[in-house]
Amino acid sequence: MTRTSGDTNTVRALRALENDNSSVRLQAALAVGTAPDPEFIGKLVERCAVEPEFSVREMLTWALTRHPASMTVPLLLGEVRSGRAQARSQALHTLSKIGDRKAWPAITPALLSDPDDEVARSAWRAAVVLVPEGQEHELAVALAAQLGRGERETQLSLSRALIALGETMVPVLGAAVTDLDPRVRAHAIATERLWRDPDAGFEFAVEEAKRIVALGGAAREEQ
């Protein structure tokens, strides 16, 4: 059978996604997204799991969003259960960009508390996008269980996720500011400050929270 020019172009694009040069991979992902074709979906998802360059991963995600959700979401849900952390993280990130709430059941407590910080952060972002109406409080409780976790970048991601839930997370934070763990208290207070004054910045909120915790909460009561 003679290979058509379309087949040849597809093979060339698929091979380019694995090129040693990251610029070639980036251009290949851009080309695939510009001219969506179901034949590319499997390779795009597969590449997301191993692509080392952030900019290329972002382009791969964009390319996937250009294809029908009915075809991409099932494959991404399979990746969410992968043993490879990057596969889970990038699949969750892509699901958050697609925004199809049919993917919500895949956002399990295990993912929200995944031991890999990048996976957990991707799960938090996806969760606030995909959460069905009426389940925001339950999600806030699950997210609040991660307060105090990780370094600044991880804590900021969690704070942003909680704040994205709006008023429903306020009573949950209110409970967390009295937690016995000082890291949990400080993170909860910083999140509360950021909610009240987004322009203050997270670093300022964290330093204020540390001061409050060090003073045993007295300073907070005076506010």
Q: Backbone dihedral region of 217: left (phi > 0), alpha (psi from -120 to 50 degrees) or beta?
A: left
pLDDT of residue 5 exceeding 50 = no
Average pLDDT, the chain: 88
pLDDT of residue 67 exceeding 50 = yes
pLDDT band at 222 (very low <50, low <70, confident <90, very high): very low
Residue 11, pLDDT score: 79
Domains of the chain and any CATH numbers: 1-130 (1.25.10.10), 136-223 (no CATH)
